[in-house]
């Protein structure tokens, strides 16, 4: 009887300090999933995303600065300058004025803004996936306006590519970006892209490396042409991708002034309209300086 009462008392005893409850193990946050795209699908999706923003607004105004050094490493003031542009994007016709010591500005000059030309690259709204021209094009040649963007071709929820100009040799992820290394399958002078960086979730283009050309007058058979690699930074402005910075390095054993050159595009805006005479250089002489845009 005594033994039974002792056992019952022990069974009913509640400790004054209950054992601590076990805490649930911390769960590591799940990283954002990376889309399972093939290398060619990555290129197609990024390109189609860029093209979905095109054509750009009809007019763009911007300030472009160029800086370079001489072949001895000193600032090259003769070929370092600033211009302001008023550009019609449909045919890239532009009125430009050199920015002298503020507030002075130069005379009106005409330019057909372009990459891969024998003058400075532009405009900031350029189609970065466009092929380079097979031969230098005179500024009097009016390019065909680009069409409005068309819906993406979708196969299995992945944008399909009908462009077989590049082989994607590498796809790597760098934080929020995806980095593609490209190899042209043909016409490396015209298919100018070499590397691409884009946001890996929105597919928006943020940086490219592209082949361009430097034209140096005075060669035996005309201009001497050297290959250039442009490292181009891209941003978004009012839903339009724009070039903001270019760092260029001239190759092919070029050793003259401007082996390294930098361009910046600033004060970019999209006015709703601009006067037609801005894009007709034959009329510039009929407008006094005080009528020129600033």
Neighbours of 50 (CB within 10 A): 21
Q: For residue 46, which phi and psi values (nearest 5 degrees)?
A: -65, -45
Torsion of CA 18, 19, 20, 25, to 10 degrees: -150
pTM for the complete prediction? Answer: 0.83
Count of residues for the chain? 294
Residue 22 is assigned to a structural domain of this protein: no
User: Do 243 and 126 touch, CB atoms closer than 8 A?
Assistant: yes
pLDDT at 161 over 80: no
Q: For residue 6, which phi and psi values (nearest 5 degrees)?
A: -65, -40
Pick from 20-34, 88-102, 133-147, 174-188: least confident: 20-34
Residue 206 is assigned to a structural domain of this protein: yes
What pLDDT, on a 0 to 100 scale, did the predictor assign at position 36?
85
What lies within 8 Å, CB to CB, of 185 at 6+ separation is: 164, 165, 166, 167, 191
pLDDT at 147 over 90: no
CA 8 to chain centre: 82
Residue 116 is assigned to a structural domain of this protein: yes
What pLDDT, on a 0 to 100 scale, did the predictor assign at position 216?
86
The CATH number that applies at residue 157 is 2.50.20
192-202 pLDDT per residue, tens: 999 999 999 99
Residue 79 is assigned to a structural domain of this protein: yes
Pick from 164-168, 206-210, 235-239, 244-248: least confident: 164-168
What pLDDT, on a 0 to 100 scale, did the predictor assign at position 151?
47
Q: How many domains are there within the chain?
A: 1
Per-residue DSSP letter, 17:
S
Residue 68 is assigned to a structural domain of this protein: yes
227-267 pLDDT per residue, tens: 999 999 999 999 999 999 999 999 999 999 999 999 999 99
Residue 106 is assigned to a structural domain of this protein: yes
Residue 1 is assigned to a structural domain of this protein: no
- In the numeric block, the tokens 């402005």 are attached to 237
Residue 134 burial (10 A CB sphere; 0-12, 13-18, 19+): exposed
Q: For residue 285, which phi and psi values (nearest 5 degrees)?
A: -65, -20
Which residue segment(s) compose the domain that 177 sits in? 37-291
CA distance 177 to 246: 19
Residue 238 is assigned to a structural domain of this protein: yes
Q: Taking residues 166-175, report their average pLDDT.
A: 97
As a whole-number percent, the residues of the chain with pLDDT over 70 amount to 81
Q: Taking residues 115-141, report their average pLDDT.
A: 92
Q: Taking residues 171-177, report their average pLDDT.
A: 98
Q: Which of 94, 5, 6 is nearest to 284 (CA)?
A: 94
Supply 236's token pair.
């978004």
């Amino acid at each position: 009887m005594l033994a039974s009462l002792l056992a019952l008392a022990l069974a009913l005893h509640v400790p004054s300090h209950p054992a601590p409850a076990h805490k649930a193990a911390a769960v590591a946050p799940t990283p954002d999933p990376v889309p399972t795209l093939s290398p060619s699908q990555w290129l197609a999706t990024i390109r189609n995303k860029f093209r979905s923003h095109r054509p750009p607004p009809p007019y763009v105004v911007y300030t472009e600065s160029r800086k370079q050094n001489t072949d001895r490493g000193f600032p090259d003031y003769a070929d370092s300058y600033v211009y302001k542009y008023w550009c019609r994007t449909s045919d890239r016709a532009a009125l430009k004025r050199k920015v002298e010591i503020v507030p002075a500005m130069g005379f009106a000059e005409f330019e057909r803004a372009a990459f891969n030309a024998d003058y400075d690259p532009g405009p900031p709204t350029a189609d970065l996936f466009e092929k380079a021209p097979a031969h230098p094009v005179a500024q009097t040649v009016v390019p065909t306006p680009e069409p409005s963007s068309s819906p993406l071709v979708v196969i299995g929820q992945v944008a399909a590519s009908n462009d077989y100009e590049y082989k994607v040799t590498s796809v790597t992820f760098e934080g929020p970006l995806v980095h593609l290394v490209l190899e042209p399958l043909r016409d490396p002078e015209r298919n100018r892209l070499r590397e691409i960086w884009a946001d890996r979730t929105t597919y928006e283009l943020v940086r490219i490396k592209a082949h361009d050309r430097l034209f140096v007058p005075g060669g035996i058979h005309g201009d001497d042409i050297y290959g250039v690699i442009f490292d181009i930074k891209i941003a978004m402005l009012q839903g339009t991708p724009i070039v903001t910075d270019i760092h260029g390095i001239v190759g092919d054993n070029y050793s003259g002034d401007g082996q390294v050159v930098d361009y910046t595009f600033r004060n970019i805006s999209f006015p709703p309209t601009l006067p037609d005479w801005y894009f007709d250089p034959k009329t510039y002489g009929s407008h006094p300086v005080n009528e020129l845009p600033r």
